[in-house]
Amino acid sequence: MRLHRLLPLLSVLLAASMLSAQSAETAALAPLANSPETTDAAQTSAPSSTQTAPQPSAQVICGITHLLRCVQDLGEDDRGILTSPLRLKPRDAEWIAPLGAATGLALAYDADAQQQLGVDTSRMNTASNISMMGEFWITGGESASIYFLGLAKKNPHLAETGRLAAEAILDSGTVTLGLKVATNRERPYQGNGNGNFWTTPSTGWSWDSSFPSGHATASMALARVVAGEYPRWYVASTAYAFAETVSICRVLARDHFPSDVLVGQSIGFLTGNYVLNHRALYRPGKSGAVARILSTATPIVDPATHTTGLALSIPVGR
């Protein structure tokens, strides 16, 4: 298979896997909806025509008909995300310490990694074309497509997935943009190729500096929400494969250093997780196999080989 066809195929597989997961959930719930117990319960709980008990007010949810609510949600998200370091607990060191170590190692060997890749125009062009699928506008369009598909199918769970994915992309984009301006890092093809920080070229501070990768951030934010809303292995694996492909291609295209995509992915994942925990109404329980495996994720660092990675514990017993 040609490399330039890989990411579009992953996008198609992602959409198909989500619809397949939704169909499976619908099929599983259909017998319950038509069972005598459910029918009797519905008839019992239905109020008579003479009852006038007040009904609880409906919750206003962000959407195409409630755009002001969307703006309010984004503001609340940004406030919560930017102040989250103030709420860190000692147990958070279990993931902060390995992530910090992995980022430090990546920063130390960023320039060496790009030098070892070398300059291959054909590879760079192909990787750049593939990574375009992680563009802010494209991932936002993918999220919008999921949202409107959910509306068209009268499927609130699917619509929520697209809505929260777009929200996570916007939230994480705010953090990434702030870091880009604050660090003003040179890209691999700029300056001496070492990715110097806090450079002050004649044009001033750049809104499009190298650290962190916006493509890695947006694609991982999308993947995290999709995998969280549909915690089935084939949905999660396709979503994360999409995000990883975008990030790897950003490095292969010499648009970013490894540390840029590592931090970008971390921002996207954590932001997506925040949005899921604070906004999701239809998200399944967290006790699924995918959720249990992801909860064991631990960054690993090997200074001897100058590599970083991720360790997962996969239960094989009952």
Where exactly are the structural domains of the chain? 66-81+93-295
pLDDT of 249 reads: 96
pLDDT of 247 reads: 96
What global pTM score does this model have? 0.77
Residues of the chain with pLDDT below 70 are 1-58, 200-205, 286-318
What does the alpha-carbon distance between residue 290 and residue 239 come to, in Å, rounded to a whole number? Answer: 12
Q: Cα 270–273–277 angle (5° rounding)?
A: 140
pLDDT of 284 reads: 86
pLDDT of 309 reads: 56
Query: Which two tokens mark 25?
Result: 């959930």
For residue 216, give the nearest of 253, 262, 175 by alpha carbon.
Answer: 262
CA distances (Å), 141 to each of 137, 151, 181, 229, 272, in order? 6, 15, 25, 18, 17
CATH code for the domain defined by 66-81+93-295? 1.20.144
pLDDT of 45 reads: 40
What does the alpha-carbon distance between residue 223 and residue 244 come to, in Å, rounded to a whole number? Answer: 10
CA 184, distance to chain mean position in Å, is 24
For residue 169, give the nearest of 128, 224, 130 by alpha carbon.
Answer: 224
What does the alpha-carbon distance between residue 186 and residue 96 come to, in Å, rounded to a whole number? Answer: 26
**How much is the CA Rg of the chain, to the nearest whole Å?**
22
What does the alpha-carbon distance between residue 170 and residue 64 come to, in Å, rounded to a whole number? Answer: 16
For residue 232, give the nearest of 309, 161, 164, 163 by alpha carbon.
Answer: 161
Is residue 255 within 8 A of residue 110, CB to CB? The reply is no
Give the pLDDT confidence of 269-313 residue by residue, as tens digits.
999 999 999 999 999 875 455 555 555 555 555 555 555 555 555
Q: Identify the residue whose tokens are 């970013």.
A: 256
Q: What is the DSSP string of the chain?
A: --GGGHHHHHHHHHHHHHHHHHHHHHHHHHHHHTSHHHHHHHHHHSPPTT--PPPPPPPP--BTTBHHHHHHHHHHHHHHHHTGGGG--GGGHHHHHHHHHHHHHHHHTHHHHHHHH---HHHHHHHHHHHGGGSHHHHHHHHHHHHHHHHHTT-HHHHHHHHHHHHHHHHHHHHHHHHHHHH-PPPTTSTTSS--SS---TT-S-TT-SSS-HHHHHHHHHHHHHHHHS--HHHHHHHHHHHHHHHHHHHHTTSS-HHHHHHHHHHHHHHHHHHHHHH-SSPPPTTSHHHHHHTT-EEEEETTTTEEEEE-------
